[in-house]
Amino acid sequence: MINCERSQLNFPISQLLIEKKPFPSLLRLFNHTNESISAEVCNAIVNILYAGAIGTDPTSPHPYYEDLQQSGGTEKIFQLFKRTRKENTKDVSAKCLGIVFRAREITDPEMKVEIISHLKSLFNHKDEETLSEEKLALICLSQNSGLFLAIQQL
């Protein structure tokens, strides 16, 4: 399992991970009956996405979006977001989607509303790391003009 602090994972390391095509295997673990496994997998994915976001041009689409999409990743992460009862898993899955949709439109209207609303609900979170990641996810989403307007309106 890819379980390291986000500060330890940088863009070159995440590039090495992406070359190994980790998303299909990680996403299969979302089907595990133990929800803690799904939560840890989501943490691993957000670590990879976070490194890709901070290591590249903040106004360009996320470099790992296509890799995640090829495995149906955004849909699987959104399904995890909708079915989980664990607040931390809901937070992390929302951050995953916010980061990976950097400078892209979220075409699923339900996903758009639920993810933006959830990220905005974290705005006054007590944990500084959660707050910082929430802000990054909203900044990533706001790089798309349509989502920028949605963020302001919701």
Dump the DSSP string for 73-124: HHHHHHHHHHH---HHHHHHHHHHHHHHTTTS----HHHHHHHHHHHHHTTT
pTM of the full structure: 0.88
Contacts of 128 (CB under 8 A, 6+ apart): none
b (16+ CB within 10 A) / e for 121-135 = ebeeeeeeeeeebbe
Q: Which two tokens stand for residue 141?
A: 């989403």
The CATH superfamily of 6-153 is: Leucine-rich Repeat Variant (1.25.10.10)
Local confidence band at 154 (pLDDT 50, 70, 90 cut-offs): low
Check if the beta carbon of residue 26 is closer than 8 Å to that of residue 44. Answer: yes
Over residues 27-44, the mean pLDDT reads 92
d(CA 52, CA 99): 9
* Residue range 15-26, pLDDT digits in tens: 788 889 999 999
d(CA 96, CA 43): 9
Contacts of 122 (CB under 8 A, 6+ apart): 91, 94, 130, 131, 134
* Residue range 74-103, pLDDT digits in tens: 999 999 999 999 999 999 999 999 999 999
Check if the beta carbon of residue 54 is closer than 8 Å to that of residue 46. Answer: no
